[in-house]
Every structure is written in structure tokens, then in C-alpha cells.
Amino acid sequence: TSTTTIHPSILNCDFMQIGSELDRINNAEAAHIDIMDQHFVPNMTFGVSMVEQIAKRSPIPLDAHLMIDSPDRDAVAYAEAGAQSVTFHVEASSAPVRLARELRAKGVKAGVALRPATPVEPLMDILGEFDMLLVMTVEPGFGGQSFIESMLPKVRRARKAISERNLEVSIQVDGGISRTTIESAAEAGANVFVAGSAVYKAPDAAAEIDALRALARA
């Protein structure tokens, strides 16, 4: 019984107009903030102090997606910066359960993310430690890439495991989500949808968010 929500990614928005770019998506449930360190992924975005400023200005909660090499050391700082949920990559953490507990102790939701080549099976017994599982549907690093359809069985297996264990864990999909792909991801069991280019390239971002949500809930 998790709710279906749309989290636009501001990765490809106009950073010179960050305030009004956030206002364009104020009907979304959260704004997805991609943190990249140029080590875990070949791209660099924002750090803690920018997230702090964005959190103060944003009309909606922030969902931070950390694509960084050092989540064990740095993830908690993003919780303190004002993100409502913090998702780190399992490939980069040496103690994902400890980190999830540290994040939850800060009062934020803890998410764990999987690159396309990372299987979900090793996480099956610890899924309850997280509020959200992020199944990447592109290789992390850039917006505007095409949806990797072969990730759908992973979403399906994760959803099955979550239901069988009666857990309250959201499944987020991120990468290449659009009107063309969102229904298949929803059908497989995802309930939180990140959309970057689909939303920010639309002339009316708020209308695009509503259209995506309607498709996902159908």
C-alpha cells in the first residue's frame, strides 16, 4: 500500500533560475536532487551547502540521490542539510545497514540504490532496513538517457519480496522515465518515479507531472 508519487529531477533544469525552476514542479510530491562527485560517476553536481540552500527555497521536500564514493562518511550531512530522504548506492557503502540506521536516526527516510548491473538478491534479507529501494533504469551519471527495459524483472522480484515480507518499502525507478515507459515500470511494481528531461523539457512541467502520475496510477 505505498503511494504512487512523481519526483522530478532538477539535474537538467536551468541552474541560473533555480528558484523558479523549483516553482515549476510544485505539484510534485518531492524534488529529486542528484548529488554527483565525479568519482562514483563521471559528472559533478552539487554539495551539501547548495542542498541546504535548495531545501530552504524549495516548495516541496527534497529526495537526495547520492552518486558518491563516500556515502558512509558523507550521507548524514545531506540529511542535516534538509533533504527529507537520502538514498545512497550500495556499491559504494561498506556498511549499508549501519548507514541506513544513522539516516533514520536523523529523522529522514533511508534509500538504497542499485546500478543496472547490481543484483537485488543480496539485499533481500535487509530490505526492511530501508524506506526505499532505487532501481536505476539507466547508468547513473547523466540525464536524458534511454530507459533500460531489462531492469523490469529486477523491479518485479523486489516488489514480490517486499510484499511477501509485508514490508513498507517504496520502489523508485530513475532514468528514462517518460509517458512511454512509466506504465511498464508501474506494472512491474515501482511506485516512486523520477523524471528529469520528461518534466523539464515539457512546456508545462506541472501538467507533465500530473500526466505521468495519472499513467502510473492507471
The verdict on 79 binding ligand DX5 (CB under 6 A) reads no
The verdict on 71 binding ligand DX5 (CB under 6 A) reads no
d(CA 122, CA 43): 28
178 appears as a binding residue in the annotation:
no
**Residue 32 Cβ, how far from Zn ion at the closest point, in Å?**
5
Phi, psi of 32 (to 5 degrees): -90, 120
What does the radius of gyration of the chain's CA atoms come to, in whole angstroms?
16
**C-alpha cell of residue 90:** 550500495
Nearest CB to ligand DX5, comparing residues 32 and 213: 32
**Residue 22 Cβ, how far from Zn ion at the closest point, in Å?**
16
Distance of CA 23 to CAs 52, 92, 195, 203, Å?
A: 17, 33, 16, 14
The verdict on 197 binding ligand DX5 (CB under 6 A) reads yes
3-state class (DSSP) for residue 154 = helix
Nearest CB to ligand DX5, comparing residues 129 and 174: 174
Q: Contacting Zn ion (CB under 5 A), which of 7, 65, 109, 213?
A: 65
Segment near ligand DX5 (CB under 6 A); pick from 53-61, 77-85, 122-130, 191-199: 191-199
d(CA 201, CA 212): 14
d(CA 59, CA 76): 22
The verdict on 143 binding ligand DX5 (CB under 6 A) reads yes
Nearest CB to ligand DX5, comparing residues 161 and 200: 200
d(CA 99, CA 105): 10
Residues lying near ligand DX5 in the complex (CB under 6 A)? 9, 11, 32, 34, 65, 138, 140-145, 174-177, 194-198
